[in-house]
Structure 1
Amino acid sequence: MMLIEETAPAAEALPVAALRAHLRLAQGFEGPEDAAETAALAGFLRAAIATIEGRTGKVLLKRRFRMQLDDWRDRLGQSLPLAPVHSVERIEIDDGNGIVTALPVEGWRLVPDVQRPMILPTGVILPHVPRRGSVTVTFLAGFGDGWAQVPADLAQAVILLAARYYDDRSQDRGSHAMPFGVSALIEKWRAVRTLAGRGNREWR
Structure 2
Amino acid sequence: MLNEIVPVTSDRLPIAALRDHLRLGRGFADVGAEDVALEAYLRAAIALIEQRISKALLTRGFLLRLRRWANPQAQPLPLAPLTGVTQVALRGADEEVAVLDAARYRLMPDGVRPVLLAVGGNFPPLEDGGLIEISVEAGFGVMWENVPADLRQAVMLLAAHYFEHRHESDQSGALPFGVNALIEPWRVVRLFGGNGGRG
TM over 0.5: yes
CA distance in 2, matches of 1:73, 1:120: 11
Give the one of 185, 188, 192 matched to 1:191: 188
- AA matched with 1:6: I
Instruction: Count the aligned residue pairs.
Output: 189
Q: Do the aligned partners of 1:81 and 1:193 also contact (CA within 8 Å) in 2?
A: no
Structure 2 equivalent of residue 38 of structure 1: 35
Question: Which aligned segments of 4 or more residues in structure 1 are displaced greater than 4 angstroms?
Answer: none
The runs of 5 or more residues in structure 1 that have no matched partner are 195-204
- AA matched with 1:165: Y
Structure 1 equivalent of residue 195 of structure 2: none
Q: Deviations along 1:160-192, whole A, 9 cap, x unmatched?
A: 000000101111374241001100100011104
Alignment of 1:125-204 (within 5 A): 125-172=122-169, 174-192=171-189
The alpha-carbon deviation at position 99 of structure 1 amounts to: 2.5
Q: Deviations along 1:20-72, whole A, 9 cap, x unmatched?
A: 11111xxxx44637211211111111110011011111101111111111111
More deviation, 30-39/182-191: 30-39
Give the one of 29, 51, 54 matched to 2:51: 54
The alpha-carbon deviation at position 97 of structure 1 amounts to: 2.8
Q: Do the aligned partners of 1:63 and 1:140 also contact (CA within 8 Å) in 2?
A: yes
- AA matched with 2:11: E
CA distance in 1, matches of 2:154, 2:93: 43
Q: Deviations along 1:69-97, whole A, 9 cap, x unmatched?
A: 11111112111111111111111112323
Q: Do the aligned partners of 1:71 and 1:134 also contact (CA within 8 Å) in 2?
A: yes
Structure 1 equivalent of residue 3 of structure 2: 4
Structure 1 equivalent of residue 107 of structure 2: 110
1:19 aligns with 2:8: no
Structure 2 equivalent of residue 67 of structure 1: 64
SS in 2 for 1:47: helix
The runs of 5 or more residues in structure 2 that have no matched partner are 192-199
CA distance in 2, matches of 1:168, 1:39: 17
- AA matched with 1:133: G
SS in 1 for 2:22: helix
CA distance in 2, matches of 1:131, 1:193: 30
Q: In angstroms, what is the RMSD of aligned CA positions? A: 1.8
Structure 2 equivalent of residue 199 of structure 1: none
